């Protein structure tokens, strides 16, 4: 397995260096309770602040989370950036970050950390190590075992409510990495696989927005609809507010009283008295 380049050489890997530095700085700001809310994903922020699907990768829960992710990002990132250059590597980071974040947010809650990107790079290098001599010494059997065992262990720990981990982000990142390696290494399949990757990312983005209320396994989707309905109601967009609160109620919002009362207000403002009375009674 290849030796890591010294930290003193990080200036030759600009994307790796900037992402790593941003992760340290923003994580420390997060730990010391600085105001970084605009960069942190919340159930009520997307799609109002879509950049959070990218900026969430810079934040980490604890020291182990930060060190583990930074080590593997540096290990894989320096090699990929050396081979493909900073521009293409930046594109890969964006792909893995947005794709894995959208997948996690669509089905569960917004996650944080570089794990999705790390698993994307792992999947990419795993395939490339068998097909491209430049990656021949990039990964060994032990590293593969570590990533697979860690993936399974995180799922178990999450299911037992011991440690909540963004497992869907891990899986989505790795799938995107495997597909990207297939696209890069197989010229005859490049167009087809490239279209598949693009379609997958678009699908995840749609599921994280308009489709979230139908695929999400938590009450976050309904809560987000409540927030959107509230913003529409306070802005005088009563028809839109009524539609949002109906969707929230159908999605099983935990705040039923708020949703029904707000629906009544929206209907009353539109002159729909019977509908408003029905909502108020509920």
Say if CB 178 and CB 126 are below 8 A apart.
yes
Are 97 and 69 contacting, i.e. CB atoms less than 8 angstroms apart?
Answer: no
Residue 81, number of CB atoms within 10 A of its CB: 22
4 within 8 A of 78, measured Cβ to Cβ: yes
Torsion of CA 105, 109, 112, 113, to 10 degrees: -70
The pair phi, psi for residue 208, each rounded to 5°, is -80, -10
Q: Looking at residue 196, what is its pLDDT?
A: 95
Show pLDDT as tens, one digit a residue, over the chain (282 residues): 778 889 989 999 999 999 999 999 999 999 999 999 889 876 555 555 788 889 999 999 999 999 999 999 999 999 999 999 999 999 999 999 999 999 999 998 888 999 999 999 999 999 999 999 999 989 999 999 999 999 999 999 999 988 889 999 999 999 999 999 999 998 888 999 999 999 999 999 899 887 887 888 887 778 878 888 888 899 899 999 999 999 889 888 888 999 999 999 999 999 999 999 999 999
pLDDT value of position 111: 87
Q: Is 50 helix (H, G, I), strand (E, B) or coil?
A: coil
- pLDDT value of residue 45: 57
Q: How many CA atoms lie within 13 A of 93 on its CB side?
A: 28
**What's the CA gap between 169 and 41, in Å, rounded?**
14
Tokens of 127: 């395939």
User: Rounded CA gap, 272 and 169, in Å?
Assistant: 44
Residue count of the chain, please give it: 282
Give the chain's domains with CATH numbers.
Answer: 7-215 (1.20.1540.10), 220-281 (1.25.40.10)
The model carries a pTM of 0.84
Is residue 244 within 8 Å of residue 232, measured between CB atoms? yes
Cβ 3 vs Cβ 74: under 8 Å: no
Q: Is 152 exposed, middle or buried (0-12, 13-18, 19+ CB in 10 A)?
A: exposed
């Amino acid at each position: 397995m290849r030796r890591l380049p010294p930290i003193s050489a990080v200036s030759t890997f600009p994307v790796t260096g900037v992402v790593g530095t941003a992760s340290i700085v923003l994580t420390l700001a997060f730990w010391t309770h600085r105001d970084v809310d605009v960069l942190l994903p919340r159930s009520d922020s997307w799609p109002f602040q879509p950049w959070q699907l990218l900026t969430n990768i810079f934040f980490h829960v604890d020291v182990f989370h930060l060190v583990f992710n930074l080590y593997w990002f540096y290990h894989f990132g320096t090699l990929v950036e050396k081979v493909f250059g900073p521009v293409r590597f930046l594109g890969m980071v964006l792909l893995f970050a947005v794709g894995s974040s959208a997948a996690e947010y669509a089905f569960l809650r917004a996650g944080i950390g570089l794990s999705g990107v790390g698993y994307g790079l792992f999947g990419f290098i795993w395939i490339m190590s068998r097909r491209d001599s430049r990656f021949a010494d990039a990964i060994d059997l032990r590293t593969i075992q570590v990533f697979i065992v860690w993936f399974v262990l995180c799922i178990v720990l999450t299911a037992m409510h011991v440690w909540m981990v963004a497992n869907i982000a891990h899986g989505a990142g790795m799938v995107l990495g495997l597909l990207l390696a297939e696209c890069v290494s197989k010229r005859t399949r490049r167009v087809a696989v490239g279209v598949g990757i693009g379609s997958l990312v678009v699908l995840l983005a749609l599921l994280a927005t308009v489709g979230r209320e139908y695929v999400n396994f938590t009450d976050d989707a309904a809560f987000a609809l409540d927030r959107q309905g509230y913003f529409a109601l306070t802005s005088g967009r009563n028809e839109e507010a009524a539609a949002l609160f109906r969707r929230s109620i159908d999605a099983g919002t935990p705040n039923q009283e708020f949703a029904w009362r707000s629906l009544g207000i929206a209907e009353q403002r539109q002159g729909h008295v019977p509908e408003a009375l029905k909502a108020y009674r509920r």
